[in-house]
Chains A and B, each alone.
Chain A
Amino acid sequence: MRLEKCWFCSSTVYPGHGIQFVRNDAKIFRFCRSKCHKNFKMKRNPRKVKWTKAFRRLHGKDMTQDSTFEFERKRNRPERYDRNVTMETLKAIKKIDKIRVAREARHHKMRMKGKKGIEQKAAERELEQGISLVKAPLALREESSLTLSKIKVKVSQPQAEYQMEE
Chain B
Amino acid sequence: MGGKCPHRKVKKRRFSNKRARRSNFLLKGNDLVFDELKKLTEGEQMKPLPLNEDLPGMGQFYCAHCDRYFADEEVRGEHYRSKRHKKRVKEMNGPSPHRQLDAELAAGMGMPDNGPKLMTMSLSPSLSLPS
Q: Which residues of A contact B (CB under 8 A)?
A: 5-12, 23, 25, 27-30, 45-47, 52-54, 56-57, 68-77, 100
The 9 closest A-B pairs by CB, nearest first: A77-B115, A73-B110, A10-B107, A53-B106, A74-B112, A54-B106, A10-B106, A10-B103, A57-B106
When the two chains form their complex, are residues B107 and A11 in contact, meaning their CB atoms are under 8 A apart? yes
Contact B109 A5 (CB under 8 A): yes
- Does A69 lie within 8 Å of B102, measured CB to CB? no
B109 surroundings in chain A (CB, below 8 A): 5, 69, 72-74
Given contacts A70-B110, A76-B112, contact A25 B32 (CB under 8 A): yes
Number of chain B residues whose Cβ lies closer than 8 Å to a Cβ of chain A: 20
Residues in B whose Cβ lies below 8 Å from that of A54: 98, 102-103, 106
Bound-state Cα–Cα, A6 to B103, Å: 7
CB contacts under 8 Å to A, within B15-35, are: 29, 32
Bound complex: CA of A120 vs CA of B103, how far in Å? 37
* Chain B residues in 8 Å Cβ range of A56: 106
Nearest-CB residue, chain A, relative to B102: A54
CB-nearest residue of chain A to B112: A74
**Does A76 contact B103, Cβ atoms closer than 8 Å?**
no
Q: List chain A residues, Cβ under 8 A from B105.
A: 57
Residues 98-119 of chain B: 1 if any A CB is under 8 Å from the residue's CB, otherwise 0?
Answer: 1010111111111111111000
Contact between B108 and A69 (Cβ–Cβ < 8 Å)?
yes
CB of B119 to closest CB in A, whole Å: 13
Given known A29-B100, A46-B98, contact A73–B113 (CB-CB < 8 A):
yes
Which B residues are within 8 Å of any A CB, using their own CB? 29, 32, 97-98, 100, 102-116
A12 lies within 8 A of B107 (CB): yes
Contact sample, A vs B, 18 pairs, CB 8 Å cutoff: A10-B104, A23-B29, A25-B32, A27-B100, A28-B100, A30-B100, A46-B102, A46-B103, A47-B98, A53-B103, A71-B110, A72-B108, A73-B109, A73-B110, A74-B104, A74-B109, A77-B113, A77-B116
Q: Say whether A76 contacts B115, CB under 8 Å.
A: yes
Task: Return A140 CB to nearest CB of chain B, in Å.
Answer: 53
**Which residues of chain B are within 8 angstroms of A47 by Cβ–Cβ distance?**
98
Chain B residues near A7 (CB, 8 Å)?
Answer: 98, 100, 103
List, in ascending order, chain B residues with CB within 8 A of A12's CB: 107
Q: Which residues of A contact B100 (CB under 8 A)?
A: 5, 7, 27-30
Which B residue sits closest to A69, measured CB to CB?
A: B108
Residue among B98, B112, B116 facing the most chain A CB atoms (10 A cut-off): B98
- What 10 additional pairs, Cβ within 8 angstroms, besides A10-B104, A30-B100? A7-B98, A12-B107, A25-B32, A27-B100, A45-B98, A54-B98, A69-B108, A69-B110, A74-B109, A77-B114
